[in-house]
Amino acid sequence: MKIRKEIRQLTASELLALRRAMAEFQRRDGLNSFIDLGGYHGIPRRLCPHGSSLFLPWHRVYITQFEDALRTIDPSVTLPYWDWTSRESLSSGIAEAHGNPNYQEQNGLMQPNPLFSGPIEDRSRQTRRNPSQNTAQLASYAASVSLALERQSYTEFNTAIEEPHGSVHVWVGGFRGDMSSVPRAAYDPIFWSHHANVDRQWAIWQRCQRNSRPPEAILNQELPGFPGWTVADTLDPTNSRLDYTYEGLENVICPQPNLPGFEGFSTRQPKIIVEVRDIDRNGDSFLVDLFVNDAVDSVSETTNLEGTFAGSFGIFGAQGLHNDHHDHQDHHDHHDSHQFKSRQHIDITETIDRLNLRGKKWQIQLLATNSDGERVSSESLPIGAITITSH
Ligand SMILES: [Cu+2]
């Protein structure tokens, strides 16, 4: 059985083997090469079912096919995961193994780091990224993972975990980065350790919510691009076809469910969650920060830098995925535009408590940047309603 490890936990020789295999993988062409598999997600094959109940199963098969293809070069290598919720990530961001443009080979020579950048579909250039340096944003995505892990049904979890997953895409890609764009994200080698981490979050949820399976109606559904693979085939990563596990999975502490019978005795204050609905993901990508103001005075839009940072989310846009963007009505496949609508839940409890705003009047303001790094007004964001709930 393959054991997937956190990328920061790899030994020097494991990391070297991974880099060498990845470099060779990126040089190759043809079926099941890095560049071929990178093309399943967005350009040119457009298979990724974002915004559907197949999100988790499809990516589970996808990254395992990538791992198995990589292992034809070196069978000692497994796919690493990058835990962007770990203490190290929340203090220093992207793992060094992915973050450095070069690495030192055994002979002392510096080589381009194949975990830093990969070739895009026509080899016209290498991927690039410009990650946000604000790790408070990552901490907000980690809080969204905690919210997702509390979900009781598969369908709810699948939808909820896609939210912080998308935010991390935009956070990593940043200004004109490939990771922040659905069409080219999978050509950045960090895509695979990011998605291994999302897959691991599913594995954690599966351990903790043992009885919850996907609805019967989708179990026999085939996964686009992977003939012979259904949702049911993906439920147990240790089965003979997938054959992997995550190091340390058995030591994970499950989140405590809110047992209804205990509610009356709980001293826990309800969480305060900002819900952003009807996010249209067909266009550009955006990184959006939430600021809280005590609304004693009416605060005008121009003073929105006055507040306290409370959380963040990313809009992982699919701009450029469809050349035929304008005639969506003709499409009835899984790329229907309504499928690219999503939601975000941002836990702002900590900030509200820190500012001692419970029971008082306050307001939320948004500060957004697009993929060109330009500040955009909150009215021009592709979002519908924003509501604040406590639960
Ligand atoms: Cu993704």
Least confident span in 101-105, 245-249, 292-296, 373-377: 292-296
Ligand 1 center to 40 CA (angstroms): 12
Ligand 1 center to 201 CA (angstroms): 13
When pLDDT is cut at 50, 70 and 90, the band that residue 156 belongs to is very high
For the chain, the domains span: 2-251, 264-390
Least confident span in 21-35, 91-105, 223-237, 290-304: 290-304
Which pLDDT belongs to residue 294? Answer: 84
pLDDT tens-digit series, residues 84-134: 999 999 999 999 999 999 999 999 999 999 999 999 999 999 999 999 999
When pLDDT is cut at 50, 70 and 90, the band that residue 332 belongs to is very low
> CA 175 → CA 178, 180, 237, 321, 371, distances in Å?
9, 8, 35, 18, 5
For 264-390, CATH number out of 2.60.310.10, 2.60.40.10, 3.40.309.10, 3.40.50.300 equals 2.60.310.10
The reply to whether 2-251 and 264-390 are identical in fold is: no
Ligand 1 center to 362 CA (angstroms): 34
Q: For residue 305, give the nearest of 320, 294, 316, 291 by alpha carbon.
A: 291
Ligand 1 center to 129 CA (angstroms): 15
Q: For residue 180, give the nearest of 384, 316, 332 by alpha carbon.
A: 316
How many CB atoms within 10 Å of residue 352? 22
Contact partners, residue 138, CB within 8 Å, separation at least 6? 84, 85, 89, 90, 93, 168, 171
Tell me the sheet residues that pair with 163: none
Which pLDDT belongs to residue 295? Answer: 75
Measured between alpha carbons, how far is 235 from 202 in angstroms, rounded to an integer?
A: 10
Which pLDDT belongs to residue 211? Answer: 67
Q: What is the CATH number of domain 2-251?
A: 1.10.1280.10
Ligand 1 center to 59 CA (angstroms): 8
Ligand 1 center to 224 CA (angstroms): 15
pTM for the whole structure: 0.92
Measured between alpha carbons, how far is 201 from 148 in angstroms, rounded to an integer?
A: 9
